Amino acid sequence: MSNNIGILYIVATPIGNLSDISLRGLEVLNTVSLIAAEDTRNSKVLLNHHSIKTPMTAYHEHNEDRKATFLLDKLVAGESIALISDAGTPLINDPGYSLVEKAKQAGLQVMPIPGACAIIAALSASGIATDRFSFEGFLPRTSAARKAVFERYQKRQGTLIFYESSHRIAKCVDDMLAVYQPTHRMSIARELTKTYETIVTGTVEEVHERVMSDANMQRGEFVVLIEGFDKKQHKADGLSAENIDVLKTLMSECSVKTAVKLAVQLTGQPKKLLYASALELNDAD
Ligand code: SAM
């Protein structure tokens, strides 16, 4: 790469606490010739806080393509540019993909300046399994479509993480309670790094109860995490062949939830074990 071609820096900014930006991030924002920001008024607060005077230009979802061409021309002309979003890491449910894709295609240097990201911050402090996870961005707006996502994920291993808004958090936990076992573990991380930061971890039933009974739990910004299906744990003490037959018969006639409920009464086996076996039977089909 020739020295007189600019570098495109992807700079992570805070998700609340304005001190959550790296020294390198500040240095880059101070030395580039231009900062492309999702919302310049919003980013002005951060730049003022750190006494950064670098000029800004708006780069958001409505001008992505047009602005990308403008920014690429500047890079080729030798100017270095920093891309920032309103909060956290650009491109993670924020604008920037089109610019980075085009810059890579043009053979330009793109450099990440890592830092805050709400999903990683939530995962690191939630107490929900971290070894494997899937990120779904924002879930669909309708209850039926959200439930379909939960149905799909409850049979998969690994934690499911997604963003949620204050208008939908109550409906979302309602949908979770309708699909998951009440004893399934989950967490809601709210207002991370801000004054009212709250991380509630417990069973779906417990977290649902907390959201419904505490109006503050329906305000602010949220990351939701729900544990995946744990095959190893459920396989440790399996059902007898007889009990599996009972479960299979019930499952051929009704929904998993009803089949498990009836199987608990008929076999006397724990609900969690029957439910895990039901999911395995479903998977095997
Ligand atoms: N790029 C950002 C990142 O790296 O986390 C995410 C941008 S996405 C448009 C914004 C969503 O992230 C919010 O609606 C909320 O769900 C989540 N979020 C952002 N800041 C948060 C915070 N401080 N606490 C909890 N969730 C947050």
pLDDT in tens, 165-174: 999 999 999 9
Q: What is the pLDDT of residues 174-195, one digit of tens each?
A: 999 999 989 999 999 999 999 9
- Regarding whether 88 and 34 lie in a shared domain, the answer is yes
∠ CA 187-191-194, rounded to 5°: 135
In 3D, which of 223, 222, 180, 221 has the Cα closest to residue 204?
180
DSSP helix/strand/coil, 284:
helix
Q: Which residues contact 86 (CB under 8 A, 6 or more apart)?
A: 38, 39, 42, 43, 94
The finding on whether 93 has its CB within 6 A of some atom of ligand 1 is yes
**Mean pLDDT, rounded, for 237-242:** 75
- What are the helix and strand counts (H, E) for the chain? 12, 10
Residue 16 to residue 87: CA distance in whole angstroms: 8
For position 85, what pLDDT does the model report?
97
- Regarding whether 126 and 162 lie in a shared domain, the answer is yes
∠ CA 25-26-31, rounded to 5°: 100
Do the domain assignments include residue 2?
A: no
Residue 148 to residue 164: CA distance in whole angstroms: 16
Q: Which atom, in ligand 1's list, is nearest to the CA of 122?
A: 25
The finding on whether 25 has its CB within 6 A of some atom of ligand 1 is no
Tell how far the Cα of 227 is from the centroid of ligand 1, in angstroms. Answer: 20
Residue 88 maps to which CATH number?
Answer: 3.40.1010.10
Q: What is the pLDDT of residues 83-141, one digit of tens each?
A: 999 999 999 999 999 999 999 999 999 999 999 999 999 999 999 999 999 999 999 99
Question: What range does the domain containing 152 cover?
Answer: 119-229
Pocket test for ligand 1, best of 223, 224, 225 (most atoms within 8 A of CB): 223
Tell how far the Cα of 125 is from the centroid of ligand 1, in angstroms. Answer: 15
